[in-house]
Structure 1
Amino acid sequence: MLRKGMERTFLVHRRQFIAAALGFPAAAIGGFPAAGATMTYDAAVTTSRAPLQAVPRDRELVRFATLAANSHNTQPWVFSAHGNEITIAPDFSRRCPAVDPDDHHLFVSLGCAAENLILAASTLGWRADPVIDGDRIVITLEETPPAASALAAAIPVRQCTRATFDGRPAPPETLRRLENVCREPDVTTILLTEHAAIAKVADYVLEGNAAQMRDGAFMRELVNWIRFNETEALASMDGLFSPASGNPSLPSWLARPLMKLFFTESGENKKYREQLVSSAGVVVLAANRSDTPRWIAVGRACQRFGLQATALGLKYAFVNQPVEVAALRPQFAASLGLGERRPDIVMRFGYGPDLPKSLRRPPELVMRS
């Protein structure tokens, strides 16, 4: 009983800290009325995705960086700011050893965050020069005339949309812009729009999904990062928010047993097949070498793709199963003509609905002195 009381106290204090960071009354986080105000999920999303402000510069740049795509919404990053230098480092306490045993996705996520920060800095009048230092990204800021861009404007709007799209093809000019925005040294972009090619990718996605769903460690890790309702999501400000994937918000005591009944291999494979068939295309990113700097480079290209898709009115989602299952990866690479190279990221895109957006931890929780 004492341990449960200590855990509850810790959770309340954590919620109060998050509330203060977001500018909400602390009592609102704990579920109690606070001068007529409460912290709702929508309010937290709106706060984290508010328009970029010039001051405080470092906090605002970090806030926009955290809106980047990242694996399982684990937000595996730590930021530090000193003078005109901002460093992004991995937070290995948030790694996912089952789905990402070599931290590939973790470093791709850091690259995504770096790209957001670089684009946001440009709009505020700072040229950002990133340098890879071991497993850190050191970004030096230098004053320059402000330069707004469609990609930067898309940062607070972008999301991974795990839904069925409407099947419309993308115009040739849209495809050209999507392919061009991925250009990054040592990174190859493969854009697939033919139905047969997409169906072939779907076969690999389904095979990978089946393997993962039969893997007990993978499933335990996945469920650990699912937030079944707004209360759970607000308590952690991370993880995979169930309604963001088109699922209902349910109490966890009900959702967990129901998940065992309805979250099945055949059901998920049917869903993935429908989602891929409904997509306008698939893009695969592959680095020329498999190491930390190239994974970060893939992340930057990946983030630009998501932002460009958003700016063009498209939705997109990751279908990384063929690159996450190590035994399947070489076959998938061969089917794409990549030889010995590792396919890093697989994304489908198309025209689709808006879904609830996921939360991000406020800068105060990810910045270190």
Structure 2
Amino acid sequence: MNNRRNFMKGAMAAGLAFTAGPLLTACASNPQAFRRETLPDNCLPFLDGPEQEILHLASLAPSGHNSQPWRVRVAGPGRWIVEADPARRLPAVDPENRELLLSLGAFVENFSLAAGALGFRVEAETIAEGRGDRDIVRISLIPDRRQPFPVELMRLRRTVKTGQASREISSRDIKALFQHMDGLAHYFSCGSQHASCIRDATVEAFRAQSFRDDAQEELVRWLRLSNRSVKEHRDGLTVAGMEISGMTGWYLRNFGKPEVFLKKSFREQGADLAAKTAAEGAGWIIITSRGDSVSDLMETGRRFERMALEARALGIGIHPMTQVLEEATGQDAIAASHGRPMHLQFVLRVGYVEKYPKPVSPRRSLPSFVRGPGAV
């Protein structure tokens, strides 16, 4: 009995470790899976089919704890406002809404690419003056010639936390990944001094955050362990999303309690497993921005999403490990190793994946985040 209990505890701690990197996080055989090929439960009489498809594809963008912090207000024909949903903020790990705005940038990039593929041109203007504003981006959707783009990549993109190979990413693939980054992305192979610094700082930050009660309580609030919880909320961190399968996954879906993840033993084991995970993969990608304004963060989120879609096409897994940017010592440790001030926005563990897993994170239906003309 003790062996079984210890096994379950270790497996659940692994799930806690694999929530590392709230930014960024189904398959038909999994009861928690949601198909991305179709529009789930969508019925918006004030939008036509292509517009609904654009919004669905946009909603496949990554977000912290899979909180999906976007709302869309249709201001009129072809006029849209992308909002930040205050109920979906993460004040413990993202008090200044940095990660929220990066996620909204990824949402807008998916929106723009999907619109182009369906015969629209998008004009997006950042209208927020501060990080706490509700209205973030004004979008104009204008009929135009189709701009071919493999939107299937949006359906297939996901965070990959396990199974990253250690072989170095080729210079050709790095060039492809960075083609839209404008010099703001940097790759460090796993044997380099920079990679070691990033790994060590990441592990230290993860351990610190594991024992910060407000951060862990916030994480637990976004856990969706049971199938009923997943279907009810269609957001958050699921058993499948934490890559817990087999008997342990079954146990968690049927008997798991989110508050169990707050126990000291789980935190300790989760931190140890995060250290092991940080040592895997081909190396690290750091993404910076030119500044920290709302516009800078939105643009960086858009660049990241374009890179993430390219990574999926190349069979490269991405695992954001953002604790290093959320804890007080993390940014200082990485910036100090570069010898100059940097606006760090993403810390990504990367590596080739032999068999890319199918996406498993749920998404909300359009009526839950899209409001029609006249809505306040």
Both structures adopt the same fold (TM-score exceeding 0.5): yes
Where does residue 80 of structure 1 map in the other structure?
Answer: 73
1:307-322 to 2 correspondence within 5 Å? 307-322=309-324
Identity score, percent: 23
Cα separation, 2, equivalents of 1:354 and 1:156: 12
1:200-349 to 2 correspondence within 5 Å? 200-247=197-244, 248-249=249-250, 250-251=252-253, 253-256=255-258, 258-260=260-262, 264-337=266-339, 339-349=340-350
Where does residue 28 of structure 1 map in the other structure?
Answer: none
Q: Report whether the alignment pairs 1:57 with 2:54.
A: no
Residue type of the alignment partner of 1:316: I
Alpha-carbon distance change, 272 to 328 in structure 1, aligned in 2, over 3 angstroms: same
Where does residue 188 of structure 2 map in the other structure?
Answer: 192
Cα separation, 1, equivalents of 2:219 and 2:323: 13
Residue type of the alignment partner of 1:83: P
Cα separation, 2, equivalents of 1:234 and 1:368: 22
Cα separation, 1, equivalents of 2:233 and 2:240: 16
Secondary structure of the residue that 2:184 maps to in structure 1?
Answer: strand
**Structure 1, residues 103-132: CA drift from partner, whole Å, max 9, x if none?**
111111100100000000010111111111
Cα separation, 1, equivalents of 2:34 and 2:267: 35
Where does residue 169 of structure 2 map in the other structure?
Answer: 170
Secondary structure of the residue that 1:166 maps to in structure 2?
Answer: coil
* Residues 162 and 244, structure 1, Cα contact 8 Å, conserved in 2: no
**Structure 1, residues 263-282: CA drift from partner, whole Å, max 9, x if none?**
64443333333333321231
Which structure has greater helix proportion? 1
Secondary structure of the residue that 1:180 maps to in structure 2?
Answer: coil
**Structure 1, residues 17-39: CA drift from partner, whole Å, max 9, x if none?**
xxxxxxxxxxxxxxxxxxxxxx9
Where does residue 138 of structure 2 map in the other structure?
Answer: 138
How far residue 169 of structure 1 moved from its aligned partner, in angstroms, is 2.5
Where does residue 127 of structure 1 map in the other structure?
Answer: 121
* Residues 195 and 277, structure 1, Cα contact 8 Å, conserved in 2: no
Query: How many correspondences in the alignment?
Result: 323
User: Any gaps of 5 or more consecutive residues in structure 2?
Assistant: 1-29, 42-46, 129-134
Where does residue 4 of structure 1 map in the other structure?
Answer: none
Cα separation, 1, equivalents of 2:297 and 2:277: 26
User: Any gaps of 5 or more consecutive residues in structure 1?
Assistant: 1-38
Where does residue 11 of structure 1 map in the other structure?
Answer: none
Alpha-carbon distance change, 146 to 263 in structure 1, aligned in 2, over 3 angstroms: farther
Residue type of the alignment partner of 2:365: P
How far residue 163 of structure 1 moved from its aligned partner, in angstroms, is 1.7
Structure number with greater CO (CA < 8 Å, separation at least 6) is 2
Where does residue 44 of structure 2 map in the other structure?
Answer: none
Secondary structure of the residue that 1:75 maps to in structure 2?
Answer: coil
* Residues 48 and 360, structure 1, Cα contact 8 Å, conserved in 2: no
How far residue 258 of structure 1 moved from its aligned partner, in angstroms, is 4.9
Secondary structure of the residue that 1:137 maps to in structure 2?
Answer: strand
Cα separation, 1, equivalents of 2:107 and 2:188: 26
TM-score normalised to structure 2 length: 0.79
Residue type of the alignment partner of 1:168: R
How far residue 168 of structure 1 moved from its aligned partner, in angstroms, is 2.8
Cα separation, 2, equivalents of 1:169 and 1:200: 18
Where does residue 109 of structure 2 map in the other structure?
Answer: 115
* Residues 61 and 103, structure 2, Cα contact 8 Å, conserved in 1: yes
* Residues 163 and 275, structure 1, Cα contact 8 Å, conserved in 2: yes
Cα separation, 1, equivalents of 2:177 and 2:119: 26
* Residues 203 and 278, structure 2, Cα contact 8 Å, conserved in 1: no
Cα separation, 1, equivalents of 2:365 and 2:302: 22
* Bigger mean CA deviation after superposition, 263-272 or 222-231: 263-272
Cα separation, 2, equivalents of 1:262 and 1:164: 27
How far residue 87 of structure 1 moved from its aligned partner, in angstroms, is 1.9
| Aligned partner of 1:90 among 84, 100, 104 | 84
RMSD of the alignment, in Å?
A: 2.5
How far residue 157 of structure 1 moved from its aligned partner, in angstroms, is 0.7
How far residue 293 of structure 1 moved from its aligned partner, in angstroms, is 1.0
Residue type of the alignment partner of 1:110: L
* Residues 224 and 230, structure 2, Cα contact 8 Å, conserved in 1: yes
* Bigger mean CA deviation after superposition, 355-364 or 161-170: 161-170
